[in-house]
Amino acid sequence: MDKIRLNETPVRTSVKFGINDIVLDDFTVPEEITAFDSVTIKDRAGQVTTNERIKDTSLIYGVGEILEDQVNEQSNQNIKIVMDQKNQENVELVFDFQGKDHCLVDNIEILAEEGSKGTVILKYKSSKDNADLHEKDYHNGICRIKAKKKSDIRVIVINLLNEDSRNFISLESNVEESAKVDIITVDFGGRSSVSNYYVNLEKNNSEGNINSIYLGKEDQKIDINYMAHLYGEKTNIDIEVQGALKDRATKSFKGTLDFKTGAKKAKGNENEFCMLLSDKAKSKALPMLLCTEEDVEGNHSSASGKVDSKELFYLMTRGFSQKEAMKLIVKAKFSHIIERIEQEELREEILAEIDKRLD
């Protein structure tokens, strides 16, 4: 197998930190992409169009060129979603890896028309009834979001694939004047899970928010790369990432806020915290601020640490086992992000997955 280098930082740092990219030496990009039919679309307002080829548009960053080319040339799901002022129903897409459907290459385009508001949910899950094929599960996707003037769009990406799958996703948003894009991600599955998100706040008063949780176990590798370009005046970006790692899982987080010339009064904040649930779990983080404009405000922080022993002891004195106490602590840490998801059934599903994956 050849080594594949993915998810490079926009600005290189010292090689000794081992965070400029992720190198996979135990994986080969599948060459044969067959049909993927296990897709459920909840679309009450007729906002979704499928099977229409999406125009190839080069990503500014993305997970990697080899995977971007595969989506543009071999996608087996092409989906367009349009939100307008008349049709503002939520849209939910569920991709269920089961039976012969174990290889998904999806190309998704979301357009929020001027003044529109809505939520799009993208959920990827491995079927429990297909354990013998789980190790072959493969997801490579691109999701492009265009938020026009005064639109308000939320995109929730849920990765509930099993721990032997491969998950790669590139998201890109362009946000116009006074528009807002909220991204919420739940990243639980994948022997390797690599995600890349770029947001371009190109017009005045545009806003972007990223709220993410991740959970790694066994030998999972999680690599997260978030980048925001702030061009317009009074633009705003907030990035909040919370995670937990157990066993020998590893995580790299890279977050870059880039204040461009002309972004007067722009504000940017990013915070990432990783809870280490074992001595062998490893966490790396690289928060960066880049700036060519003086009149801006930027803040960043990252940290990792073990579970508070006093908190754990307190819960155990109240009758909880150590495992159950750990679950409660992790769910409490994730709660302020999970609560941003308005759909109660989806929140309950995420909490149940945390319980299952921490057993």
pLDDT at 17 over 60: yes
pLDDT tens digits for range 277-315: 999 999 999 999 999 999 999 999 999 999 888 888 889
pLDDT at 40 over 90: yes
Band of the pLDDT at 32, cuts 50, 70, 90?
very high
pLDDT tens digits for range 324-357: 999 999 999 999 999 999 999 999 999 999 999 9
Which residue do the tokens 């890109």 mark? 172
Band of the pLDDT at 210, cuts 50, 70, 90?
very high
Distances (CA, A) of 269 to 167, 184, 201, 227: 27, 16, 14, 12
pLDDT on residue 1: 62
Phi, psi of 322 (to 5 degrees): -60, -40
**Pick from 10-19, 126-135, 210-219: least confident:** 126-135
Helix (H, G, I), strand (E, B) or coil at 234: coil
CA distance 66 to 59: 12
pLDDT on residue 312: 86
pLDDT on residue 70: 96
CA distance 213 to 350: 10
Q: Please, what is the average pLDDT of the chain?
A: 93
HEC readout, 179-191? CEEEEEEEECCCC
State the amino acid at position 261 in one-letter form: T
pLDDT tens digits for range 152-195: 999 999 999 998 899 999 999 999 999 999 999 999 999 999 99
